[in-house]
Amino acid sequence: MSENSSLFNNRKFTVPMVSILLLLVLDQWIKIYIKTHFMLGEIRPIFGDWFKLYFIENDGMAYGMKLFGGGKIGKLILTFFRLIVSGFGFWYLIKCIRNDANWGLLICIALVLAGAMGNIIDSVFYGVIYADINHYLGGWFEGQVVDMFYAPMWEGHLPEWLPLWGGQFFVFFSPIWNFADACITVGVAVMVVGQNTFFSKDELEKAFGSSTPADTAEDSDSPQ
């Protein structure tokens, strides 16, 4: 049996890849529904004032953050940056699978990759596919990312006695996000929480399929 055949028959390959595909399909279904059934800027309450669908589009990163200065050039740089990072992510995922890395790490990587690919699809294709209904001009690699989830934990006017911001209207957790952003956030958060398990010495050796530099040095110093 060839190495590639063995890889494809490995559950640690199948489960993350199928997870990525299913998460991508769900992400795109949500975005397409919002894109074709909502007016830009439309808000629809789901659970009162706590959770709403709020259709916006952005040319930045997750939660509307900007990178590389924004604008057309910044958008193109960001899209290609996402593609490069995703390519590295898939390479790392395959390497971890081949070396029987921890299940939790594989699922976290799958979540991050699904989220990244979901927003890449928007960036690469939406400027052309939805050119007739977009509120912006954009070609290939110039699409804007569709965001729709808005869950402010608290909003209101700050106390007058508060220095600098007293009396101002404030929203705690104001970003508007999408399912892809949530996948990335959950994947990264679980990796941080589980880092002692996912990135222990034994797991790193398995993931990269080699001994640590310290072990290598010890081996080289041992008598022949």
Nearest to 96 by CA among 112, 81, 82: 112
Which position has the higher pLDDT, 1 or 135?
135
Q: What is the pLDDT of residue 20?
A: 98
Task: Lowest mean pLDDT of 40-54, 123-137, 151-165, 184-198, name the range.
Answer: 151-165
Q: What is the pLDDT of residue 70?
A: 57
List pLDDT tens digits, range 100-155: 889 999 999 999 999 999 999 999 999 999 999 999 988 999 899 999 999 987 77
Would you say residue 168 has pLDDT above 70?
yes
List pLDDT tens digits, range 53-77: 999 998 766 555 555 555 677 778 8
Q: Which of 27, 122, 147, 202 is catalytic?
A: 147
Residue 26 token pair: 């769900």
Q: What is the pLDDT of residue 213?
A: 43
Which residues, listed in sequence order, are joined to residue 53 by a DSSP beta bridge? 44, 149
Residue 47, helix vs strand vs coil: strand
Nearest to 141 by CA among 153, 126, 130: 126
Q: What is the pLDDT of residue 217?
A: 46
* 83 HSE (CA, 13 A, CB side): 11
Instruction: Print burial letters for 102-141: b (CB count within 10 Å at least 16), e (below 16).
Output: beebbbbbbbbbbbbbbbbbbbbebbeebeeebeeebeeb
Q: What is the pLDDT of residue 3?
A: 64
pTM of the model: 0.82
Q: To 10 degrees, what angle do helices 103-129 and 179-193 make?
A: 160
158 Cα distance to chain centroid:
33
Q: Is 181 a catalytic residue?
A: yes
Residue 175 token pair: 């970003």
Residue 162: CB atoms within 10 Å: 11
Q: What is the pLDDT of residue 212?
A: 47
Which position has the higher pLDDT, 209 or 197?
197
Q: Which of 49, 100, 181, 219 is catalytic?
A: 181
Q: What is the pLDDT of residue 77?
A: 84
How much is the average pLDDT of 26-42?
Answer: 98
